């Protein structure tokens, strides 16, 4: 039986303003004009990050672009990356956070949708290191969605362990809990889902550390490749 979370689908324009498709087309134009080091792909949890000072201070210096759209589910992001958004650039690192909006899909289906996105990214961007961010907790108090997300995260972490150049970033849910409890503070998620500046600070400190590590490794590999090529050239010039 086909997995609806892994079946590429554009968002239906129920509001009649074509915003989703216009954003998709704008991303394609941007991909032709920019040469990013890092690409962010996801839903509102990453889209809203771009409107914060944290983005300006932490990520813009790393030459990042953000192709995230609020409300996207796995099948919507999958459609976008299969229809042009990954075709005109070669980022060194791609950051993925998607799945919190797949309300009508089972944990197994959502995990399958995320893995299909991972496979598509790896096929279209084989040079890139991929960071898959685990789903964040939501809802003020412990609830069935948090339990579902824990199952998804465990499944994704296990499946990614065998895929090269791919990292699962397991963000500790307790980062967003009130001390000594499992209730989420509105100081971190203002509506118990979307992050505040303080919430983004907690998420991005963990993410930035992983991102900088991967970029440094990438630069070391590039540097070694340049040195090797230079050395080979020098050796060739010394030959009689």
User: Does the pLDDT of residue 135 top 80, yes or no?
Assistant: yes
Options 48, 63, 185, 194, the catalytic residue: 194
Q: What is the pLDDT of residues 111-127, one digit of tens each?
A: 999 999 999 999 999 99
Q: What angle do CA 109, 45, 132 make, to 5 degrees?
A: 55
103 is catalytic: no
Options 44, 48, 63, 185, the catalytic residue: 44
User: Does the pLDDT of residue 107 top 80, yes or no?
Assistant: yes
Options 56, 191, 213, 230, the catalytic residue: 191
Task: Quickly count: other Cβ atoms within 10 Å of residue 37's Cβ.
Answer: 18
The pLDDT value recorded for residue 219 is 55
72 is catalytic: no
The pLDDT value recorded for residue 158 is 97
Mean of the per-residue pLDDT values of the chain = 91
Taking residues 21-37, what's their average pLDDT?
A: 96
- Beta strand 129-133 pairing with 93-97: parallel
Task: Quickly count: other Cβ atoms within 10 Å of residue 53's Cβ.
Answer: 10
Q: Which domains can be identified in the chain, with CATH numbers?
A: 4-215 (3.40.50.1110)
Q: What is the pLDDT of residues 170-205, one digit of tens each?
A: 999 999 999 999 999 999 999 999 999 999 999 999
What percent of the chain has pLDDT above 70?
90
User: What is the C-alpha separation between 190 and 210, in angstroms, rounded?
Assistant: 26
CB neighbours of 117 closer than 8 A, spacing ≥ 6?
Answer: 41, 74, 77, 78, 81, 96, 98
User: Does the pLDDT of residue 225 top 70, yes or no?
Assistant: no
Q: What is the pLDDT of residues 45-54, one digit of tens each?
A: 999 999 999 9
Taking residues 10-15, what's their average pLDDT?
A: 95
User: Does the pLDDT of residue 229 top 50, yes or no?
Assistant: no
User: Does the pLDDT of residue 240 top 70, yes or no?
Assistant: no
User: Does the pLDDT of residue 161 top 70, yes or no?
Assistant: yes
Quickly state the pLDDT bin for 1 (edges 50, 70, 90).
confident
Quickly state the pLDDT bin for 236 (edges 50, 70, 90).
very low
The pLDDT value recorded for residue 203 is 96
The pLDDT value recorded for residue 233 is 41
User: Does the pLDDT of residue 235 top 80, yes or no?
Assistant: no
**pTM of the entire predicted model:** 0.90
24 is catalytic: no
Closest CA to 193 of 121, 239, 143, 153: 143
Q: What is the pLDDT of residues 51-69, one digit of tens each?
A: 999 999 999 999 999 999 9
């Amino acid at each position: 039986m086909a997995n609806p979370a892994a079946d590429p689908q554009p968002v239906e324009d129920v509001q009649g303003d074509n915003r989703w498709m216009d954003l998709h087309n704008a991303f394609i134009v941007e991909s032709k004009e920019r040469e990013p080091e890092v690409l962010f792909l996801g839903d509102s949890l990453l889209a809203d990050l771009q409107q914060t000072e944290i983005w300006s201070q932490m990520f813009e210096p790393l030459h990042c672009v953000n192709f995230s759209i609020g409300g996207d589910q796995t099948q919507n992001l999958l459609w976008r990356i299969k229809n042009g958004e990954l075709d005109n650039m070669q980022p060194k690192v791609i950051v993925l956070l998607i799945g919190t909006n797949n309300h009508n899909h089972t944990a197994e289906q959502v995990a399958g949708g995320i893995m299909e996105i991972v496979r598509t990214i790896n096929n279209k961007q084989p040079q890139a290191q991929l960071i898959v961010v685990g789903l964040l907790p939501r809802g003020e108090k412990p609830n069935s969605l948090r339990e579902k997300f824990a199952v998804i995260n465990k499944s994704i972490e296990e499946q990614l362990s065998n895929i090269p150049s791919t990292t699962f970033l397991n963000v500790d849910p307790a980062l967003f809990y009130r001390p000594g409890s499992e209730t989420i503070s509105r100081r971190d998620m203002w509506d118990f889902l979307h992050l505040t500046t303080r919430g983004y600070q907690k998420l991005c400190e963990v993410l930035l550390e992983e991102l900088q590590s991967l970029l440094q490794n990438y630069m070391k590999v590039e540097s070694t490749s340049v040195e090797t090529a230079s050395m080979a050239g020098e050796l060739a010039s010394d030959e009689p």
